[in-house]
Chain A
């Protein structure tokens, strides 16, 4: 039990991302409304973005801009700086997430114009009856 608690507290960033990811997955799979599904998908993507962002974090480190002592640069210690690479990667992933969200919402509008509803079961019933 104590081990488990330690695991829970020491790796809290992982637990947060897993919880968010599962909420998103639940939304995509279980929700009936298409927009709710899109929201779930967006939460899922955000969870992974947060996972990457937390991965670059170091205790007691600062933003990755090299400090200068006005003329005499001190040797750079990697421990003093947060790893910027995962953050930079996530800039791209955010762009991808935004465009996916845009496409998905545009499609939802198209679906709504065609069927007059966003509830999946009602749409499927209309398709079955036609």
Chain B
């Protein structure tokens, strides 16, 4: 029934806005106005995007301008329609619409590797099937001052289906040794929560010094990127200009200011559900609530729950809307209050004991976003053996930790991983496969999920956790959790 209702809802929504291309895919150098409030249909309902500064004139705005040599703008990979990210279905639609000519498919990172024939769809399979962009990182890693870090491990390419990691020009043995990993772009929205520095310690919870914002001199939250490699929005934008946009000169101060200002004005969340109706009636749902609330609040408490209480959604009723809302409330209760045994999660169990009996909200603990309030890179197994989903289309690396140092406490000294994550930045064995927890907002608009796109839909996310931690969810539990995640 849900699918049928959703189809009707989407048809109505799309028909009502068929002439409004700005609510669809926004091209670089587009003109016109992006309204302060826009709604974008998806299979669950509607996503809301709110710009608290009002309408945005796209012309000449650096976020929407092709600033580099490949025709891309920031918006190429951060589309309002997809919760300021991009979805794999949306990218496939874009490929069909442009015959693969859209700059989002640029060879540098929109293909599996630049040496592949770019006209072939298969050369872009990771982007089209899993929404993954190629991220290139130097090996060995460098610190913030460019000094080489002596890594605690050696890395060997075991499987290289894209050919990039062993390529003479792009690979680990090239003249500029580089490792290619493939990751989802994070939403450029709700960022006041992502960068919130709520008394951030000088040291991350793994005991290493926190990155310092050179402008303020203060430690940063280190939650911005999946490997925490850039600490501020400005640093991220500058790096993205050189890498993703292939700029030859850095962004100007004015461009940086405009980009960062825009990024901090944008909020996104699911705004309406096809069955559950408007979502703003719950205190923490919809983009308005994100704009209204304060960032940096620890939400794993009864006084400041992560996503409010859903109290009004628990009323009995047998109509589809009431039934759906009750399911969402149950899903939230599972997320917030139902303990399960969490094992072998680096940067969690080494602090709380292994195993620890906690809840989803123990890690997803920041009010309104479900991120980790402390610098939140953890290894839950999405990229590491033995827990990662089989992914023969992704590279596989063998990590050998230095025998003179303590081993990884759960994976020992030999680790197989599809993406070493934070370890490619820190050089630490304990960081292999550790990924910064990302926000849980706008999920309905931006499948697939996890940093490596290994979950094609929300049900696969739930299934992964169920398998990983042997939770033994019932079918009803799983549907309740999917419904809960879909309204965020």
Are the chains A and B members of one assembly? no
**Chain A positions near chain B (C-beta within 8 angstroms):** none
Residues of B within 8 A of A (CB): none
